[in-house]
Amino acid sequence: MDSSQLKGNKGPRYRHTADESAPYQTIVVDKLTPIIGAEISGIDLAKPLPDAQFDEVQRALAENLVIFFRDQELSQAQHMDFGRRFGDLHVHPAAPHEPGLPGLMKIHADRDSPRANGEGWHTDVSCDPEPPMGSILYIRVCPPKGGDTLFASMYAAYDALSDRMKAYLDGLTALHDGEHVYRGTYANYGVADKDAYPRAHHPVVRTHPVTGRKALYVNRGFTRHIDGIPLDESDGILRYLYSHIENPIFQCRFRWRANSIAFWDNRCAQHRAMWDYWPHTRSGNRVTIAGDKPV
């Protein structure tokens, strides 16, 4: 951070000022960092959650952007039921799903895989006109080492921008496109390409519908260009924003064990999966929850 500090100022340029959270009554919330991520215990996601516990899970997600659960034993149906408590299930426009269950996406990489899901920083399916609100990833099979997932707070990334950059970005939109991401990507699973993949224009800075906070909403995976400015200017601005977003101070890193779950809020967090475990297998399912149009 040294080079990004303003001359003469004391302390880091990015100062996190979270509100003091009220104590939780029905779950235990153990933060990974002050900025993003918390491990939740004292809960069994296989059972229908009492309303008070459901409300606290929602609050923990809003406060921490991504929440983690260990040692959960869920059937496919229970995984989808947990997702449905938060909204309708989103069906992925390209990725393979479990037979007969379009709402249950496969996340799998092994010795023969040409790639693993989510290897670059991204927000899930931000090319959709109404991108998913959140994703619930349940990993059953872990490699002996590696396969971590990194998460980054787009609130913190936005807050840390200079006032001049915030003013510049205010009101801008950008094109998010699925074409270059999805075409041919799942051929190894026998998935045929569609005629077209989603594309949509979204605000570069979006306001979270629950917290009211502003979050940066461009990502390396899907965003093609900022609208209404010359392409070279857009490329320069996006390059700056991507390198800014990837500052480790905005991140947490989750080390999976078999039967762990990560539930992230796509409206304010990006993530990146590490495929550092080849030739081992990492396998599970993702339930994705429908969202609304970013504003």
The catalytic position among 90, 202, 271, 282 is 271
Best CA proximity match to 158, nearest among 212, 219, 210, 217: 217
C-beta closer to ligand SIN: residue 221 or 294: 221
Kindly state the tokens that stand for 25.
């009554």
* Binding status of residue 137 toward ligand SIN by CB under 6 A: yes
Q: Which segments of the chain are extended strands (E)?
A: 28-31, 38-41, 66-69, 97-98, 101-109, 134-141, 149-153, 173-177, 199-203, 205-207, 214-216, 223-226, 251-254, 260-265, 269-273, 282-289
Please report the sign of the dihedral spanned by the C-alpha atoms of residue 234, residue 290, residue 137, residue 180: negative
What is the separation, in whole angstroms, between the first and last Cα of the chain? 31
Are the CB atoms for 254 and 149 separated by under 8 Å?
Answer: yes
- The token duo for 107 is 């996340």
For ligand SIN, the closer of residues 151 and 155 by Cβ is 151
According to the binding rule CB under 6 A, does residue 273 interact with ligand SIN? yes
Specify the residue, 36 or 237, whose C-beta has the smaller distance to ligand SIN: 36
Site for ligand SIN in 191-230 (CB under 6 A): none
Residue 234 or 288: the one with the smaller Cβ distance to ligand SIN is 288
Residue 90 as a binder of ligand SIN (CB under 6 A): the answer is: no
Please indicate whether residue 122 is annotated as part of the active site. yes
Can residue 126 be called a binding residue for ligand SIN (CB under 6 A)? Answer: no
Give the up-direction half-sphere exposure of residue 68: CA atoms within 13 A in the CB hemisphere: 23
Q: Which residue's CB atom is positioned nearest to ligand SIN? A: 118
Q: Is 107 in the site for ligand SIN (CB under 6 A)?
A: yes
Closest approach, Cβ 124 to ligand SIN, in A, equals 6
Task: Examine residue 117 and tell whether it contacts ligand SIN (CB under 6 A).
Answer: yes
124 is catalytic: yes
226 and 234 in contact (C-beta within 8 Å)? Answer: yes
Rounded CA gap, 32 and 184, in Å? 37
128 is catalytic: no
Q: CB-wise, 169 or 178, nearer to ligand SIN?
A: 178
Catalytic residues: 122, 124, 271, 286
Chain contacts with ligand SIN (rule: CB under 6 A):
107, 117-118, 135, 137, 149, 271, 273, 286
